[in-house]
């Protein structure tokens, strides 16, 4: 079984640019999560999909962050416009069970905004 695949591994953007991060969950998994990871805040939930329906859009991140699940095997996270404070690692995770007792994470995308 392939794990969660995230692309690109690294992204460098200028302030104000639009960037799109991609995620392919584990095949057959129904739940998909986007997290932002920083040393200060740890793992913060950005979006949560269940069977392609948006269950949570991360409150404070609604403004410039938009996650979409185009089909059950592909999701994108768009940040528009980017700001330097968005520099972080963005992690995608998927889960096969409704209890979400085990999340499978991708390697993440390291975003640097100059």
Partner 1 sequence: QQQVRQSSQSLTVWEGETAILNCSYENSAFDYFPWYQQFPGEGPALLIAIRSVSDKKEDGRFTIFFNKREKNLSLHIKDSQPGDSATYFCAASNMGYKLTFGTGTSLLVDP
1 neighbors 96 (Cβ within 8 angstroms) = no
Helix, strand or coil for residue 82? coil
Is the CA virtual torsion 33, 29, 105, 80 positive or negative? negative
| Alpha helix segments (H runs only) across the chain | none
Check binding of 2 to partner 1 (CB under 8 A). no
Q: Which is nearer to partner 1, 19 or 36 (by Cβ)?
A: 36
Residues in 33-92 that interact with partner 1 by CB under 8 A? 33, 35, 39-43, 45, 48, 55-56, 91
Q: Which residues of the chain form contacts with partner 1 (CB under 8 A)? A: 4, 33, 35, 39-43, 45, 48, 55-56, 91, 93, 98-108
């Amino acid at each position: 079984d392939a794990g969660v695949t995230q692309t690109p591994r690294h992204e460098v953007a200028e302030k104000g640019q639009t960037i799109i991060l991609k995620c392919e969950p584990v095949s057959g998994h129904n739940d998909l999560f986007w997290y932002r990871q920083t040393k200060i805040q740890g793992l913060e939930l950005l979006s949560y999909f269940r069977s392609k329906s948006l269950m949570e859009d991360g409150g404070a991140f609604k403004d410039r962050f938009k996650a979409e699940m185009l089909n059950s095997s592909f999701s994108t996270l768009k940040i528009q416009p980017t700001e330097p404070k968005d520099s972080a690692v963005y992690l995608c995770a998927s889960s096969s069970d409704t209890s979400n007792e085990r999340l499978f994470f991708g390697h993440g995308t390291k975003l640097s905004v100059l």
